[in-house]
Amino acid sequence: MCRVQEAYQRDRAACTEFENVRVIAEKAANAWRQEGILAEDREARRIKVRANAKVIALRRQQTKEADRLLSENPDRGFADL
């Protein structure tokens, strides 16, 4: 959406005869460009956090399974229930 708004404002600035409209449209286009960059950064960070959370969850599960194989008595394993 940000890129669409930026393009709209740039087109508006290019097509107008009025200097004040051009200046405001260019400022708006720049603001939309900045917001687009920030939105892309947020999305990339969100994807990275989700991937890291999956890795951490998998490691925890593997650790729990490995701990399950250990016994306080090294001569015997866990009793089957």
pLDDT tens digits for range 2-13:
999 999 999 999
33 occurs within a structural domain: yes
14 occurs within a structural domain: yes
Question: H/E/C letters for each residue in 2-16?
Answer: HHHHHHHHHHHHHHC
In this structure, what token pair is assigned to residue 46? 């969100």
15 occurs within a structural domain: yes
40 occurs within a structural domain: yes
- The predicted-structure confidence for 22-34, as pLDDT tens digits, reads as follows 999 999 999 999 9
**Cα separations in angstroms, 53 against 43, 48, 58, 69:** 15, 9, 9, 25
Q: pTM of the predicted model, to two decimals? A: 0.63
79 occurs within a structural domain: no
Residue-number span of the structural domain to which 64 is assigned:
2-69
76 occurs within a structural domain: no
29 occurs within a structural domain: yes
User: How many structural domains is the chain composed of?
Assistant: 1
Amino acid 74: pLDDT: 58
Other CB atoms within a 10 A radius of the CB of residue 62 amount to: 10
- The predicted-structure confidence for 34-79, as pLDDT tens digits, reads as follows 999 999 999 999 999 999 999 999 998 888 777 666 666 656 655 5
77 occurs within a structural domain: no
Report the alpha-carbon distance of residue 80 to residue 62 in Å, rounded: 20
